Amino acid sequence: MNAPTISELSLYQLTQTTDPGLTPLTVSAATFREWIDTAVQFLIDQEIQGTVWAKLPPHSRWWTTLETYYQEGLSEQIYRCSISRSGGTAPSRHSSRGSHSSQNNLVPIVLETSSQLRREHFCLILSPGLCSLILAQEQIPPEEDPPSGLLEPTVLKVIYSFNPNVIQKALSAIKHLITITDVTPAEVLTDSELPFSVPTEVDTTLLTKLWYQFLPHISSASLNLQQENPQPVLQKSFSLGEEFLGPLTRELSTPLTNMKTALRLLESKQHKRDIRQRYIDLLKGECDRQNTLLLGLQELLQLNQSLEESAPTVHLEEVVPGIVSTYQAIAEEKGILLGYTIPPGFPAVACPSGWLRRILQNIIHNSLKFTPTGGRITVQTDLRSEGVQISVTDTGMGIESSDLPKLFDTFYRGRNTLNPPVEGVGLGLTIVHYLIEQCGGKIEIMSQVGKGTIVKVIFQESSD
């Protein structure tokens, strides 16, 4: 059998032929990053000195723990690998959006262009007491081209190995792929053996400690152990299960009961005009409520249908200004100051554009409903260690602390003291919470009665 050419070489396939018993796990990009961070943090906690070879996305949060390992003085060397894009020219250390200036402490290694290796990421740890390889392959449909560093929205097949044969072959393959540049260190160009023997057996004490460090990051929600046809991390539709249909049935039946009661009372000729008007107003209110509910249900269907046409990532500057301008007229009419701040050069976030629009529309709409005349609403974006944060801050009436844990419950409507009271069906934040979770993001609401509310949404960065 002929050896694979460089353009065909795949570390993932190499590990499978070296050790067919390695069972890949299908995980999200966030889970893969957690595993790498956990492995490197274990080296720091146990004060294990070693050398690391890594090929990861360029954004700083993928390299933070490795940088800490370097700063602690424990790493003998950290080689930051990337794929050659210009015939062997070393990439600039500051060319990637989101790169971290402290990555200058990591030694850049340029690898030959490989269509297979482009969609693979790895962290190879070498030390006398512990050697391991964490390797991920992006799962791309055959009809699509491999994304250039686009990792966050994809599904990954990951293997984790302590097998010395796998580790030796992976290291050898990586070294044979090195492209010589002006900054390539001489020591990586030799085929010499490691200054120590790769452990033939894993220290059970170390392995036990490592396992306990991994336990908090392993959950059934992030793992899919099926070997064929892995399901996408980003689900394509809402699941209308019993937890949704039960409350929906009650939500539909209660207004109908109220309407039937009002109609029966209106049939009586004995009621005075003001009482009859009260029943008529009740009927109008319940009809409006039913109409709003149906519009909310229709929104769910539209979100499902539009997802297929929506890109999996989006830049905030393409969405936020348009949404804020849409609500400017409403804000001016209510005497509310509405504005936004987006610093230049923000990375894209791993969320379909249609979903991001609906998320921000629902949050801003809520702020406008509960902010009185003379108030302010501000949309602000920031970079955090865990991703891109969008904050919507208002000076509205605030939310009771007892209501905060229930805000995302389907059809839950918190108490409000506005006169007249603001009505709703309780679907807005349910939709927001669901969409954010499907994108792998987080939402947090902080509020104080009489002072206002802050809604913070964090999305994963996407290296588009």
CA nearest 224: which of 139, 303, 123?
Answer: 139
Mean pLDDT over 247-261 rounds to 61
- pLDDT value of position 123: 95
Residue 229 resides in a domain: no
Q: What is the average per-residue pLDDT within 167-184?
A: 87
Token output for 337 = 């100051």
My answer on whether 240 and 264 are in the same domain is: yes
Residue 403 counted as domain residue: yes
Cis before 230 (ω within 30):
no
- Residue 245 — pLDDT band, cuts 50, 70, 90? very low
Tell me, yes or no, whether 113 lies in a domain. yes
Residue 376 lies in a domain: yes
- Last residue of one domain, picked from the residues 253, 275, 307: 307
CATH number at residue 193: 3.30.870
Assess whether 11 and 133 both reside in one domain. Answer: yes
- The reply to whether 243 and 389 lie within a common domain is no
Q: Determine the residue type at 149.
A: G
Tell me: do 324 and 447 sit in the same domain.
yes
> In this structure, is residue 248 part of a structural domain?
yes
Strands 461-462 and 348-349: antiparallel
- Tell me the average pLDDT across 217-222: 45
Residues 6+ apart with CB under 8 A from 395: 371, 375, 376, 377, 451, 452
Say whether both 219 and 84 belong to one domain.
yes
Does 216 share its domain with 272? no
Q: Which amino acid is at 14?
A: L
Q: Are 302 and 403 in the same domain?
A: no
Shared domain for 299 and 314, answered yes or no, is: no
Percentage of the chain surpassing pLDDT 90?
19
Terminal Cα-to-Cα distance of the chain (whole angstroms): 37
Nearest to 400 by CA among 339, 445, 436: 445
| pLDDT score, position 247 | 53
Q: How does pLDDT run across 176-214, given as a tens digit for each residue?
A: 888 888 878 887 877 665 666 676 666 777 777 777 776
Q: Are residues 43 and 107 in the same domain?
A: yes
**Per-residue pLDDT reduced to its tens digit, 57-106:** 877 778 888 998 998 888 888 999 988 755 444 444 333 333 333 445 78
Contact by Cβ (8 Å): 354, 306: yes
Same domain, 288 and 193: no
Domain with 250, as residue range(s), is 234-307
Three-state secondary structure call for residue 237: coil
Residue 224 confidence (pLDDT) above 80: no
- Measured CA to CA, the distance from residue 169 to residue 157 in angstroms comes to 19
Using a pLDDT cut of 70, give the percent of the chain over it. 65
Predicted model pTM: 0.47
| Final residue in a domain of this structure, among 224, 245, 261 | 224
Residue 1 resides in a domain: no
Whether the pLDDT of residue 457 is over 90: the answer is yes
User: Is 67 contained in some domain?
Assistant: yes
Is the same domain home to 217 and 333? Answer: no
- The last residue of a domain, from among 266, 284, 307: 307
Domain check: are 274 and 337 in the same one? no
Q: For tokens 């686009």, what's the residue?
A: 150
Domain count, the chain: 3
In contact, 108 and 91? CB cutoff 8 Å? yes
